């Protein structure tokens, strides 16, 4: 047995237990107390971001309990407030997707008093997140160097297209361009088709995830030293990091990775198949699974064929093997194949549309579809937070804010009296 075969078997060593009744699961650490407010409840986060990457990061922090104050331009707000249809009431579905659990302060950063108010917040904040083009925040007097001099514990996160350094640092960053430059698009799509953008804005979302991780790491280090630091995240860096085994394969072989559609470059069969009424994803991760798979197909002769006996040989002969399997898979429905392959211990799943995925019993059981009340929309459904903590769980507490919904409360907290707030509003500095 080759090392590769052994590793493929180890990868799915537990699949033989698929037919056994599922054990009753319990948290690894039992809750010792009821901690309301979330793990990050003591953090104040100043959110100077817009569109997707930054708002996704700050929403995650908010779901985990942080008080997130979102700074928006009066009269306009985050660009995504206008990105529709679809709308729910007058609210763009795009904006609603990444801005829950936040408070909105509508303030004109071009106004001296408005900018001064935001600076006051920055000097009180534990975390500041911005996704301006590099240099813009500094020109506003909201750069890391200036703020950290007065608030040395500030964790300051910048998300940009290309990072704060390098020859392209000042270029505007866009998700699709980052996907293109990172190599992600070159390995996405059918083998005989053009490069394809990932169906969601993966470069934006992965940058938001890395920003959250960087912020949490900086906060942890701050406990030891008392000092904050600058977290520098780029869409391009984040997307390149996702190349993982694809880049490793290139480094090892010198061969430029290709597109394989839904298939895997080093495992076969590991891809989508059309069925009599839809599509199913099959992942045959080792040779024992391959034999189980051929039994479920009533084609043990395929397992006996030396061309397909091991994973390396199946990969080498995939152009012969896959058409044979495609013909067989068309003979049953998706549900029939899922049932048969589950019984055989072969990893399988239906390829669901978005509406089907959001109704999946497992998705529902895990709380990944949440509902709350929005002040103008009414009942609002959204995707939940995937982070599960036993003592300080994430929570969806408040709907995405209306533009400037919390302006008065936030400014009052800074010591602005009613007359001063009214004067700022009359001058157009706040909304």
**Residue range 243-267, pLDDT digits in tens:** 999 999 999 999 999 999 999 999 9
Nearest to 186 by CA among 260, 82, 274: 260
The mean pLDDT of 73-86, rounded to a whole number, is 96
Per-residue pLDDT band at 32 (split at 50, 70, 90): very low
CA dihedral sign of residues 106, 109, 110, 112 = positive
Per-residue pLDDT band at 15 (split at 50, 70, 90): very low
53-63 and 202-225 helices cross at what angle (nearest 10)? 50
pLDDT of 29 > 80? The answer is no
- Give residue 37's pLDDT: 78
- Give residue 36's pLDDT: 62
pLDDT tens profile 331-340: 999 999 999 9
Per-residue pLDDT band at 141 (split at 50, 70, 90): very high
Q: Which residues are catalytic?
A: 204
pLDDT of 223 > 60? The answer is yes
Contact of 8 with 287, CB cutoff 8 Å: yes
Q: What share of the chain has pLDDT > 90, as a percent?
A: 91
pLDDT of 6 > 90? The answer is no
Alpha carbon distance 68, 65 (integer Å) = 9
Which has more confidence, 15 or 364?
364
Specify burial of residue 266 (Cβ count, 10 A radius: 0-12, 13-18, 19+): middle
- Polymer length of the chain: 431
> What are the phi and psi torsion angles at 139 (to 5°)?
-65, -25
The average confidence (pLDDT) of the chain is: 92
C-alpha distances in angstroms, 162 versus 218, 309, 415, 417?
21, 46, 39, 42
pLDDT of 403 > 70? The answer is yes
Nearest to 157 by CA among 119, 211, 114, 120: 211
- Give residue 14's pLDDT: 44
The mean pLDDT of 13-29, rounded to a whole number, is 41
pLDDT tens profile 270-326: 999 999 999 999 999 999 999 999 999 999 999 999 999 999 999 999 999 999 999
């Amino acid at each position: 047995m080759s090392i590769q075969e052994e590793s493929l078997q180890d990868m799915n060593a537990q699949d033989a237990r698929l037919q056994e009744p599922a054990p009753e699961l319990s948290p690894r650490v039992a809750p010792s107390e009821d901690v309301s407010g979330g793990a990050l409840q003591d953090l104040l986060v100043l959110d100077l971001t817009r569109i997707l990457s930054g708002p996704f990061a700050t929403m995650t922090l908010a779901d985990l309990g942080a008080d997130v104050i979102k700074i928006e331009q009066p009269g306009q707000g985050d660009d995504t407030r206008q990105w529709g249809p679809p709308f729910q009431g007058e609210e763009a579905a795009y904006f609603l997707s990444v801005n829950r659990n936040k408070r909105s302060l509508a303030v004109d950063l071009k106004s001296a008093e408005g900018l001064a108010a935001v600076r006051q917040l920055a000097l009180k904040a534990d975390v500041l997140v911005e996704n301006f083009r590099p240099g813009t925040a500094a020109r506003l007097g909201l750069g890391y160097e200036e703020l950290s001099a007065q608030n040395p514990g500030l964790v300051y996160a910048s998300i940009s297209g290309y990072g704060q350094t390098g020859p392209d640092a000042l270029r505007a960053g866009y998700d699709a361009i980052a996907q293109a430059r990172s190599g992600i698009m070159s390995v996405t799509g059918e083998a005989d088709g053009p490069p394809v953008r990932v169906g969601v804005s993966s470069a934006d979302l992965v940058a938001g995830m890395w920003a959250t991780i960087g912020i949490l790491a900086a906060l942890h280090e701050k406990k030891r030293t008392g000092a904050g630091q600058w977290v520098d995240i780029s869409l391009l860096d984040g997307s390149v990091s996702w190349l993982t085994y694809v880049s490793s394969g290139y480094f090892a072989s010198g061969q430029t990775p290709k597109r394989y559609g839904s298939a895997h470059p080093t495992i076969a069969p590991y891809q989508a198949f059309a069925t009599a009424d839809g599509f199913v994803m099959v992942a045959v991760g080792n040779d024992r699974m391959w034999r189980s798979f051929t039994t479920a197909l009533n084609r043990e002769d395929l397992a006996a064929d030396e061309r397909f006996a091991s994973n390396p040989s199946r990969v080498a002969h995939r152009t012969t093997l896959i058409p044979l399997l495609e013909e067989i898979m068309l003979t049953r429905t998706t549900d029939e194949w899922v049932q048969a392959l589950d019984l055989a211990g072969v990893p399988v799943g239906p390829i669901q549309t978005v509406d089907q995925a959001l109704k999946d019993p497992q998705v529902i059981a895990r709380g990944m579809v949440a509902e709350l009340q929005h002040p103008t929309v009414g009942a609002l459904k959204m995707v939940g937070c995937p982070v599960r903590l036993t003592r300080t769980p994430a929570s969806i507490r408040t709907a995405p804010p209306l533009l400037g919904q919390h302006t008065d409360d936030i400014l009052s907290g800074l010591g602005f009296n009613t007359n001063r707030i009214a004067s700022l509003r009359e001058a157009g500095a706040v909304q």
